[in-house]
Structure 1
């Protein structure tokens, strides 16, 4: 089961120095409109500081809009919820808990019985190919394995939307490719609605069926490209790269 996501006129302001909006807040996003169809895989691409993570945080319910709205399946987002799973670049695992223990702990907020938490945790770890590592501690796992635990932790709550914020940025090149392949397989199998934040054009084209380019300060949507099936299209890559190098994509 997946859900559609709709972002309408989203403006987010943070405190800080720089260009200021009303009330003395720094505008991170302004007037962003974005629709994610149920079951779609969208990559959100842009330079550092353009508001990619802020937009994902607003969909996750971690960031409160100054204006506009975010809705999932037509329901306004007012805070975090189990319908949206989030995976960050940094694994944020408890070192004193096993892989299974980390996933189970994340399920406590759902009020599930212990047996159900264990079942879901083991099933999610198996889903990401880590069944044999369920009783290992984070210190006994490689970076790629730890990120699999983080992915399992998000999947165990059985979300309908999966939000990923540069989840493979800290991995070596080979592990990164393997994790990309795993994510694509999981998406095809589960049909989740996926929003994937990255600053890497090649990663966006390899993973997503649509690339949305964010840029500027405050951040706004600069381009929206469908990604054709098959090998990455060099012409599309050049088009996106050119868009990112235009003045309006850069910080101002």
Structure 2
């Protein structure tokens, strides 16, 4: 199952106190991500793309506007949204299976169901043979697969990924991109993927939303056609970022 995500006049600021004015991070933003879509949020560091993702996840409170998932306003984290970060954040004393199972405890599932989901999710990301390995026994790419499995095991309607492959080597990164694309095509989950890499955005997503400026705002919104890479589209996106 998947759900649409809608941002209505969403603005975010940080640092507001009784003695200090807030610093605007994300300007008022209106965007809609249809159910089952795969969108890349592209932009340089500091443009508000991770903040936008955090607001959808329910980790960041808006200063104005609202976020809605499936028509319901987001008021905090929820099981309908799964999050994958660049840092794996795995418990070193738990196996791959144990890490995924632990994340499922908050749903109050029986132990047998937690194990079933954990094993199924780890198999989905190609780690069926590594379920009893500890993080120290796994490569960086394999640890990120565990992090992805941890999110998938919750069977979210929306999958949020914040530069999840940024710390991986080029070959592993390409393999993880291919894996994510296959998983999205199979599950139809709504995906929002934060990146600062134009080529990664074009390789993965069917739509690229470009953010920039301070506070962050939408600079461009482009559909990505199927088939070979479009140099003209890449040039337009690079132009938004001032890298063309």
TM-score, normalization: structure 1?
A: 0.94
Deviation at 1:23, TM superposition (A): 6.5
Report the CA distance between 1:143 and its aligned residue: 0.3
- Please tell me the root mean square deviation across aligned C-alpha atoms, in Å: 1.4
- In structure 2, the partner of 1:173 is 170
2:159 aligned with 1:162, yes or no? yes
Task: Confirm or deny that 1:207 pairs with 2:204.
Answer: yes
What does the per-residue CA deviation read over 1:51-83, in whole Å, with 9 as the maximum and x for residues that have no partner?
A: 010000000000000100000000000000110
1:71 aligns with 2:68: yes
- What is the alpha-carbon distance in structure 2 between the residues aligned to residue 54 and residue 243 of structure 1? 20
1:231 CA displacement: 1.8
The separation in 1 between residues aligned to 2:3 and 2:240, in whole angstroms, is: 30
SS at match of 1:133: coil
SS at match of 2:23: strand
**CA shift for structure 1 position 232:** 1.5
Report what 1:13 is aligned to. Answer: 13
Point out the more displaced range, 232-241 or 164-173: 232-241
Matched, 1:192 2:189: yes
Q: 2: distance between equivalents of 1:136 and 1:86? A: 23
Which residue in the other structure is 1:46 paired with? 43
Report whether the alignment pairs 1:82 with 2:79. Answer: yes
Q: How far has the Cα of 1:235 moved from its partner?
A: 0.7
Aligned residues: 242
Superposition misfits of 4+ residues, deviation over 4 angstroms:
none
Give the equivalent residue in structure 2 for 1:153: 150
Candidates 18, 28, 31, aligned match of 1:31: 28
Alignment equivalent of 1:222, drawn from 214, 219, 237 = 219
Provide the TM-score with structure 2 as the length reference.
Answer: 0.97
Structure 2 counterpart of 1:249 = none
- Alpha-carbon distance in structure 2 between the residues aligned to 1:70 and 1:139: 38
Per-residue CA shift, 1:88-110, capped at 9, x if unaligned?
Answer: 00000000000000000000000
| SS of residue in 1 equivalent to 2:119 | helix
Q: Are 1:129 and 2:137 counterparts? A: no
SS in 2 for 1:171: coil
- Alignment partner for residue 233 of structure 1, among 230, 235, 241? 230
Where does the alignment leave 5 or more consecutive residues of structure 1 unmatched?
Answer: 247-252
C-alpha separation in 1, matches of 2:138 and 2:117: 21
Residue in structure 1 matching 2:102, options 90, 99, 105? 105
**Cross-structure match for 2:242:** 245
Q: Distance in 2 between matches of 1:223 and 1:8?
A: 17
**Distance in structure 1 (CA, Å) of the matches to 2:228 and 2:38:** 16
Q: Secondary structure at the match of 2:129?
A: helix
Q: 1:175-205 CA distances to partner (integer Å, 9 max, x unpaired)? A: 0000000000000000000000000000000
Tell me the SS of whatever aligns to 1:204: helix
Gaps of 5+ in 2: none
